[in-house]
Structure formats: C-alpha cells, structure tokens
Amino acid sequence: MSVLIYIDQAEGHVKKASLEALTYGAKLAAQLGTTAEAVVLGTVTEDLAALGKYGVKKIHHVSNDTLNHFDAQVFTGVIAQAVTAANADVVIFSNNVDGKALAPRLAARLKAGLVTGAAALPDTSNGFVVKKTVFSGKAFANVAINSPIKVIALNPNAFKIEAGEGTAEVAALNATVEASKVKVTQVNKVTGEVPLSEAEIVVSGGRGLKGPENWGMIEELAHLLHAATACSRPVADVHWRPHHEHVGQTGLAIAPNLYIAIGISGAIQHLAGVNRSKVIVVINKDPEAPFFKAADYGIVGDAFEVVPKIIEAVKKLKGVA
Amino acid sequence: MKILVCISKTPDTTAKIAFTDNNTKFATDGVQWIINPYDEWYSLVRAIELKEKDPSTVLHLLTVAGAEADPIIRKALALGGDEAIRVNADSQDSFYIATQIAEVAKQGNYDLVFTGRETIDYNGSSIGGMVAELLNLPYVALATKFDLNGTTATITREIEGGEEVCEAALPLVVSCQKGMAEQRIPNMKGIMGARTKPLKVVEPAAADTLTSIAGFELPPAKAGVKLIPADNPAELVRLLHEEAKQI
C-alpha cells in the first residue's frame, strides 16, 4: 500500500501547490506506516529526484509529450495506471484548477470516497476523517471516507511546505495514453504577475478607489510586496478590473498569508472568498465597514492619503529608492 | 440539441452559519434557500442563451433532493428551461449524487451537461468531474465562456495565471463559473409559465455512499482588529514586518 501524490506542473515546473501536496502526502504516509509515491505527467525540466526532500520515495514519470496539454479525461486514465503501479490506497491532489477537474474523475473511476478542500491531515485514530472547509470558508466539516480507496484534494496554501533530506527514485511509467478529445487552441497567460491562487500576499481594491485609473498605487504596492492584485465583485462587474481578479463567494476563493483590502467594505460574500487568509489588513474610510470585524490590522482613513504613505514605508523597509 | 443543467439548492449567501444536533447538522431555522449561484447565474443562464439562439434546443433542469427543493426548481424554471427532473433522494455524498445525475443523463441522451463550479455550501467542485467519468465523456472544468458551432464547442477555461481556449465535440460535461453569462431576474411571464412546466419526480438508482459527515465546526473567532492611526501608516508596515512577520 502507498499514498500517491499527483504532481501538477506547468511548462516543466512543479507548482508550489504540489509541494504542499507532497509534504501532506508524505506526512500522511508516515502516519499510516506506508510510503509516499508520486506521479507526474508530461515533460518536466526540474530535477524530479530532488523532490525526495519533501518525503516522497518514488516518482512515476509518464513523459509522453502529448500530456503537455491538460485533458481531465486522458490524465485520469494515466493517473489510474499510476495508482495500480504504486498499489496506492490514498491519492492526494492539490485542490487547484487542475486538481478540481482530476480528483473527482479519478474518485469516480476508482469508486473512491472523495474529500476536496482538505484543510488538515486526516484523523486516522478511528476510521479516516478529513477536515475540509465548507460554507465558503465560514465553517469546517469533518468528513469520514468509508471506501477502501480514498482521494483527497488539499486546499492550496493550507499546509506548510516542509523540506528535509532525501532523494526520490524516479521511474519511467510506460502508461497507455488515450487520444485527447479536447483540443487546446490558445493559451493566454498574464505574464510578469504573480498568479492570484498561488500568491502569498494579495493586495485588493474595491469601489472605494473610485475608478480604474486609480489602480496604479494598488499595483505599485503589490509589486513592492511581490504580491498579486485582486478586486471585489462590483469592481469586476463594472469592468474596472478583469473578472479573473474577482475574489469572493462567486469569484475566486483565496487563502494568502497576507490579504490587504483597500476601499472594500467587506460584504459577507466578499469575506467568504478571503476569510482563510492568515492575516487581513483593512484600509477603509468608513469606521463602520464590516470588514474591520474580520481584520487583524486596520486603518480608518482615506486610501488616497494612506496607501502612498504605506508605499513609502515599504520602500524604506525593502531598501528601494 | 439536448442540454441538462444540474441545479442545487443552497442557503442564501448571507445566511448565518450555525449547527445543531451536537454540531452534526446545519441549522436551517430562518434560512432562505436559493439556487446555488454558480448553477443559476452562469450555467443555467448560459444554457438559456443557447436555447434562445437555437429554439429547437431542449433544455432540462435536474436536481437530486427531497420535495423541499421544489420551490427552488420552480424558480429555476421561471428563468427558463422546458422541464425539470427531481431525483427524490437526500444525500451529501458526491459520488451518490453524481451517480444519480449520470443515470438521468444516460437515459435522456443529452449532448451537453452543465454544472456550477461548486455549491456555496459544500464547496465540493466534484459533481461535474464525477458525472463526466461515469458517462466516459470529456470534461472541461471552471469554464468562463462557452460557444457552440454545430456540434463543436469552443470553451474558455481558467488556468493558473490566465485562461486557455479549447475545442471539443459534443457530448461533453462542463462546469461553469463567472464570465459564462450575466445574472437574470425572472419576469412575471416566466414565473406564471413555470407553474405549468412539467416537474418529474423519479426515484433514485441504486448507488453507493462513500463518505459521511461526522460533524461540523466553526473557525476560532478573530482576536479583534488592531487599529493604526491614519496619520501613521508606517506603523502598519512595522507591525506587518515585526509582529505578523508577513512582509
């Protein structure tokens, strides 16, 4: 038996969310007294053996270059073969974009109980119970998986990456790869920016900024902090900012280490998308803004006066002229 | 063209989240129920738009729930759709629910199955992928745009740090999110018409339940906000650096 972790890569690079999944899977394997193995699909430019430092013993690599384009159906077929090769009874994904497509498919194929949005290691003292976020981060559910094979999708940024010593054995897996029925015709990447879902710091703006022309200071602060930029729903709805920046209940749910909300009142729907952030800073001129109740630090003041001063202070801290 | 749109009932986005029966059940007292926003605003409305473009399209709505979901299904029918199907079962296990949906989809020979990206209560993001696997169909998750040209779909989906455009032939399963369509409000004609649209109730197929909810818990309360004077934002930066250690 083993715990199998799916390594998600883009353009040859292992995603940060997968390092979290590797750490999680290795710790779970230790808890269960089994070994951690992993599977990666497509062309990888990174040194896979070095991923052993996260606790994984063996990595099954299916290097077929048709797997450089994602297709949930084809990938599921390949991962299922890796499950057999590793004799795995627990499979770990990150609950990121591709994990959300793969984990349910694989679970249905293996008739495995599935928990997505896992927030902690399973409690295996009596059965197999996984804590997951529900109600858009406003609560947790403890879900018992009652099937012999189990699939877990771990929330991004919910589990600390831990690296130790070690090298993984990398084994080529000669898997059957079906022809894809989904043809990718175009990829539009926002280059030079930190992807919102992987960002450790997020600077977000709301209606209080009065117009898209005032986003310069949000972008400047984000740049200084190596942060991603985000916005509230009304801002995306009036097209001040692109839809993919919308965080909240019906937008993207994020869990950065630091979320800085500028000119956002903090409607309950917005909070639902950001309440898993570790530290929340709110800057709003309305002292009654509900966001202050969910914040760790707050400034009641005009963003147009406060934010430039914050930028100055950050520049001083970072030694930027 | 036959489209199946999966609908789930969820508590209103502003509902108070509390639990009863020793924290094993969601406290439903005073809770307003709505159509899950991802199912309504994006998936259902986009399907209605496709039917408006090609009126020969048959649009069916499907929910897996007890009779208490009937008002929600009627509300969805008021927006559009020809008829609704309710599989009379109450389950929180995604595999059980997906099996019911796949069974209906198989019998109805649908060209397209739409789900929302997730429900706002369980946040599973699981049903679309499971249904696609059970039907052995391609699956495009987290779609932000969907267009049809004959039997070929052009779909834009979210990827980390951008988007990807892809093409696939029907039949197909798609999970929908923001960008697919704009929210609509049902009009009086729609509301009146929904009363006479068929709502078929079918009994569930035999299916396994692979998970169960042992209990719920609420996150620990925040310690409270530390306010920094507006004339000294440098103090915020110092606290984030020295106390919170985040910058």
Instruction: Give me the interface pTM, i.e. the ipTM.
Output: 0.95
**pLDDT tens per residue, range B177-186:** 988 998 899 9
- Helix ranges (H only) for chain A are 16-32, 72-86, 97-110, 216-224, 233-237, 268-274, 291-294, 303-318
Nearest residue in chain A measured CA to CA from B94: A114
Tens-digit pLDDT string for chain A (321 aa)? 999 999 999 989 999 999 999 999 999 999 999 999 999 999 999 999 999 999 999 999 999 999 999 999 999 999 999 999 999 999 999 999 999 999 999 999 999 999 999 999 999 999 999 999 999 889 999 999 999 999 999 999 899 999 999 999 999 999 999 999 999 999 988 766 778 888 999 999 999 999 999 999 999 999 999 999 999 999 999 999 988 899 998 888 899 999 999 999 999 999 999 999 999 999 999 999 999 999 999 999 999 999 999 999 999 999 986
Which of B95, B121, B241 lies nearest to residue A108, judging by beta carbons? Answer: B95
- With a CB cutoff of 8 Å and minimum separation 6, the contacts of A58 are A35, A37, A38, A86, A168, A169, A170, A171
The phi, psi pair for A221, rounded to 5°, reads -65, -45
* Structural domain includes residue A307: yes
**What is the structure's pLDDT at A192?**
63
pLDDT at position A191 is: 66
* Beta strand spans in chain A (E): 2-7, 9-10, 13-14, 35-41, 58-62, 88-94, 113-118, 129-134, 139-145, 150-154, 169-172, 182-189, 201-205, 228-231, 258-262, 279-284, 297-300
The one-character DSSP state at A184 is E
CA dihedral A275, A280, A283, A289 (to 10 degrees): 40
Q: How far apart are CA A233 and CA A241, in angstroms?
A: 10
The CA distance from B69 to A200, in Å, is: 40
Residue spans per domain, chain B: 2-222
3-state DSSP call for residue B121?
coil
Q: Residue A307 sits in a domain of what CATH number? A: 3.40.50.1220
| CA pair distance B209, B64, nearest whole angstrom | 14
Q: What is the CATH number of domain B2-222?
A: 3.40.50.620
Cis omega before residue A287 (within 30°)?
A: no
Write the CA distances from B157 to A35, B88, B175, integer angstroms: 35, 32, 9
Q: Provide the pLDDT for residue A195.
A: 81
When CB atoms are compared, the residue of B158, B159, B214 closest to A144 is B214
Calpha distance B34→B116 (Å, rounded): 14
Contact A300 B208 (CB under 8 A): no
CB atoms within 10 A of CB B184: 16
Domain of residue A231 covers 196-318
Q: How far apart are the first and last CA of chain A?
A: 56
Is A313 contained in some domain?
Answer: yes
| B168: pLDDT strictly greater than 90 | yes
Q: Give B 178-207 residues with CB within 8 A of chain A.
A: 178-179
CB–CB contact A136 B225 (8 Å): no
Indicate whether A31 and A160 sit together in one domain: yes
- pLDDT-derived band at B222 (thresholds 50, 70, 90) equals confident
- Per the domain annotation, does A56 fall within a domain? yes
A49: closest CA of chain B, how far (Å): 25
A15 and A120 housed in the same domain = yes
Number of domains in chain A: 2
**What's the CA gap between B180 and A68, in Å, rounded?**
26
Asked if residue B149 has pLDDT above 90, the reply is yes
Judged against a pLDDT cut of 90, whether residue B220 lies above it is answered with no
Q: Are B218 and A140 inside 8 Å of each other by CB?
A: yes
Q: Considering the domain boundaries, does residue A75 fall inside one? A: yes
User: Is the domain of A19 the same as that of A162?
Assistant: yes
Identify the pLDDT of residue A214: 96
Whether A186 maps to a domain, the answer reads no
Tell me, yes or no, whether A180 lies in a domain: no
Maximum mean pLDDT: which of A155-159, B28-32, B126-130 = B126-130
User: CA-to-CA distance for B245 and A149, rounded, in angstroms?
Assistant: 40
pLDDT at A197: 82
> What are the distances in angstroms from CA B51 to CA A176, B15, B38, B146?
39, 33, 19, 13
- The answer on A168 and A123 residing in a single domain is yes
A181 inside domain: no
Q: Which amino acid would we find at residue A277?
A: S
Contact check, Cβ <8 Å, A72/B217 = no
Q: How far apart are CA A163 and CA B146, in angstroms?
A: 42
57-116 of B, contacting A, C-beta below 8 A: 93-95, 98
A125 with A16, same domain: the answer is yes
Question: Cα separation of A249 and A270, whole Å?
Answer: 6
Identify the residue whose tokens are 């022309």.
A213
- Kindly report the CATH number assigned to the domain that includes residue A122: 3.40.50.620
Give the pLDDT score at B68.
Answer: 95
Q: Residue B188 corresponds to which tokens in the numbers above?
A: 């009086």
A182/B138 CB distance under 8 A: yes
Which residue of chain B is at minimal alpha-carbon distance from A123? B214
Query: Is there a domain that residue A185 lies in?
Result: no
- Both A149 and A296 in one domain: the answer is no
Closest CA to B84 of B99, B96, B73: B73
Whether residue B11 contacts residue B121, with contact meaning beta carbons closer than 8 Å, is answered with yes
**Does B240 reach chain A within 8 Å, measured CB to CB?**
yes
For residue A11, give the 3-state DSSP assignment. coil
Cβ contacts of B173 on chain A, cutoff 8 Å: none
- Of B19, B133, B137, Cβ closest to residue A109: B133
Point out the residue among B123, B139, B246 whose CB comes nearest to the CB of A73: B139
A52 and A148, same domain (yes or no): yes
Q: A258 and A151 share a domain? A: no
* Residue A122 CA neighbour count, 13 Å, CB half: 29
Residue with tokens 């990174």: A46
User: Are A162 and A231 within one domain?
Assistant: no
Structure tokens at B167: 């093409």
Q: Whole-angstrom Cα distance, residue A59 to residue A74?
A: 19
Distance CA B99, CA A117 (A): 21
Contacts of B215 in chain A (CB under 8 A): 141-142
